[in-house]
């Protein structure tokens, strides 16, 4: 298959995978051969970008990326729960730190007052 046919083949595979329920929220696939050397494909925004330079590798990379996109979506509820929990814990830690800092400040102030009154009595 000619290099010019790769975008059409990727688009066909993209639609086929979406027909199977994968990556349905993605809008398009973009072939940018050699655009990145460190990855064969990635999703940015709502576009699957494929960087593999030949058709077979490009189709495999697209499939992998769409599967990965769905797997990440499966974990999203856990991420939301963990982030909410961390936020609540951070708020509690902050409140405790503030109470402790206030108590220490009052304790230090009380020592200063006692020290001054002792100095004045001498």
What is the mean pLDDT of the segment spanning 96-108?
Answer: 94
The first and second tokens of residue 88, run together, are 């609540």
Please check the confidence at residue 114 and state whether its pLDDT lies above 90: no
Taking the model in full, what pTM does it have? 0.68
Name residue, tokens 């974990």: 75
Domain boundaries, the chain: 3-121
CA nearest neighbour of 53 among 35, 67, 68, 26: 35
As a whole number, the mean pLDDT across the chain is: 91
pLDDT in tens, 31-83: 999 999 999 999 999 999 999 999 999 999 999 999 999 999 999 999 999 99
What are the start-end ranges of the H helices in 1-122? Answer: 6-19, 55-121
Nearest-10 Cα torsion for 93, 99, 102, 103: -120
What is the mean pLDDT of the segment spanning 104-113?
Answer: 83
């Amino acid at each position: 298959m000619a290099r010019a046919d790769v975008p059409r083949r990727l688009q066909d595979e993209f639609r086929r995978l979406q027909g199977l329920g994968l990556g349905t929220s993605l809008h398009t696939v973009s072939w940018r051969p050699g655009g990145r050397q460190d990855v064969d494909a990635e999703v940015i925004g709502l576009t699957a970008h494929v960087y593999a330079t030949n058709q077979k590798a490009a189709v495999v990379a697209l499939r992998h990326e769409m599967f990965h996109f769905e797997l990440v979506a499966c974990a999203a509820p856990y991420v939301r729960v963990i982030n909410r929990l961390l936020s609540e814990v951070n708020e509690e830690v902050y409140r405790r730190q503030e109470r402790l800092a206030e108590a220490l400040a009052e304790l230090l102030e009380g020592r200063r007052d006692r020290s001054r009154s002792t100095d004045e009595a001498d």
